[in-house]
């Protein structure tokens, strides 16, 4: 019996060979250059052009909220400007200026045929075309607007442009040649209105956002 066993030999066990071969496979897998991180997350490519978009929410709902904010700011600025001009024309025009802070700040109603702060009175039609162009450009930018600060800035620009454009269309001496109503008169400075203030504030905000590298679509440019 012992001689038969020595001749036949011990049979191979596939399970044992499988277990022994499995260890190198696992070791090889762990050392593979294509191995996946334990958490299964991919950080994604790192941009080399100095731009980052990882935190930008570009969902349609976000864009709608930004557009709504833009138009809310624009409507508020427009109504404040329109209401103040109607009040000034009704109560202050052709009257003595009202002193607010002595000679430093007065309310003095004038008609301005030029641009903001009384500049360029000989180019009324040109400034009307520029105001209309600004409104069209803002409307086009709104289609890719995802930045909250940009929505506020563009809303101020839009409201101010609409306020002065309304004067140029509906006030004397004629359509597209109308004179804008100005009434805020600081000492040693040009007379202006709330629409001019909204335009200047919106422009300053846009300059600051540009210096910070923030685009209307939310992209941030890093130096």
Residue positions annotated with a catalytic role: 182, 196
| Residues 219, 121: Cα–Cα separation, whole Å | 39
d(CA 35, CA 26): 11
DSSP string over 116-144: GGG--GGGHHHHHHHHHHHHHHHHHHGGG
DSSP string, 56-125: ----HHHHHHHHHHHHHHHHHHHHHHHHHHHHHHHHTTTSPPEESSTTSEEEEEEEE-SSGGG--GGGHH
Long-range contacts (CB closer than 8 Å, 24 or more residues apart) made by 36-39: none
Contacts of 73 (CB under 8 A, 6+ apart): 151, 152, 155, 156, 158, 159
51 φ, ψ to 5°?
-115, 150
Tell me the two tokens of residue 22: 């499995």
């Amino acid at each position: 019996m012992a001689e038969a066993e020595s001749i036949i030999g011990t049979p191979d066990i596939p399970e044992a060979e499988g277990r022994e071969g499995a260890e190198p496979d696992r070791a090889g897998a762990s050392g593979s250059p294509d191995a996946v991180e334990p958490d299964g997350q991919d950080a994604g490519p790192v941009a080399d052009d100095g731009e980052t978009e990882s935190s930008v929410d570009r969902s349609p709902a976000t864009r709608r909220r930004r557009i709504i904010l833009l138009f809310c700011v624009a409507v508020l600025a427009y109504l404040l400007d329109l209401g103040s001009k109607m009040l000034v024309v009704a109560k202050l025009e052709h009257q003595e200026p009202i002193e607010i802070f002595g000679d430093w700040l007065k309310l003095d109603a004038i008609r301005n045929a030029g641009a903001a702060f009384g500049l360029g009175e000989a180019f009324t039609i040109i400034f009307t075309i520029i105001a209309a162009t600004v409104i069209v450009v803002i409307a086009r930018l709104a289609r890719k607007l995802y930045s909250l600060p940009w929505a506020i800035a563009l809303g101020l620009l839009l409201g101010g442009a609409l306020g002065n454009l309304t004067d140029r269309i509906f006030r004397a001496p004629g359509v597209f040649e109308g004179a804008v109503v100005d009434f805020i008169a600081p000492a040693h400075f040009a007379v202006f209105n709330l629409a001019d203030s909204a335009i200047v504030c919106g422009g300053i905000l846009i300059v600051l956002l540009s210096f910070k590298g923030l685009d209307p679509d939310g992209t941030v440019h890093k130096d």
